[in-house]
Chain A
Amino acid sequence: GAGVSQSPRYKVAKRGQDVALRCDPISGHVSLFWYQQALGQGPEFLTYFQNEAQLDKSGLPSDRFFAERPEGSVSTLKIQRTQQEDSAVYLCASSLKQGRPQNEKLFFGSGTQLSVL
């Protein structure tokens, strides 16, 4: 079946512009994660959903970052008033359901590369 799909693949924004990044997880996957990956670094946790509930948003760097998953499937990461330091690859990942080791394998999308000029 289809994997995790993210769009757009690339996004160039002017500083101060709002952007919205979309993630379509694997069908049936309950858990959905967003990560931010800067060049040469590992993925940094941003936020985590279980179905439509946002269980952890401790990694969101500021109140300019907002994520939602209103129907428990597609998720959107929104960044308001983008800054140059927001430039990174934003990765979405899904899993069957966190809590049972056999269900915790994360499947990643190809990411959205955001460049803020």
Chain B
Amino acid sequence: RKEVEQDPGPFNVPEGATVAFNCTYSNSASQSFFWYRQDCRKEPKLLMSVYSSGNEDGRFTAQLNRASQYISLLIRDSKLSDSATYLCAVIYRGSGNTGKLIFGQGTTLQVKP
């Protein structure tokens, strides 16, 4: 089982739709969580960090559920420009851990006109 798992999709949604992605992680020692965006043939770029209390940045809302070990990303009022792959990423800490960032497989979103 992979340490960080995502549904690869693709998620095909019309413009203006609300779409949500989940990501599960297996190591309860995980302490930092992120969503990255990756456009086709480009490098990943940080979209937002995910805090325990949940956080919002414009149309994007990220939430963390430690009890169930998952993080989520909600995109409201989808735009064509939101089409991309969304990667969740987790940093583990603990004995012998160096804080390496582990990525999920990514979830592909296609927003249609």
Residues of A within 8 A of B (CB): 31, 33, 35, 40-45, 48, 50, 55-56, 91, 93, 98-99, 101, 104-106, 108-111
With A41-B105, A42-B87 already in contact, the answer to whether A106 and B46 are too (CB < 8 A) is: yes
User: A57 CB to closest chain B CB, in angstroms?
Assistant: 10
With A43-B87, A106-B46 already in contact, the answer to whether A98 and B99 are too (CB < 8 A) is: yes
19 contacts between A and B (CB under 8 A): A41-B105, A42-B4, A42-B104, A44-B103, A45-B102, A48-B100, A56-B100, A91-B44, A93-B101, A98-B91, A98-B100, A99-B99, A104-B32, A104-B91, A104-B101, A105-B46, A105-B49, A108-B44, A109-B43
Q: A98 — which chain B residues lie within 8 A by C-beta?
A: 91, 98-100
**Distance of A50 Cα from B49 Cα, bound (Å):** 22
**Distance of A93 Cα from B46 Cα, bound (Å):** 12
Closest A residue by C-beta to B45:
A108
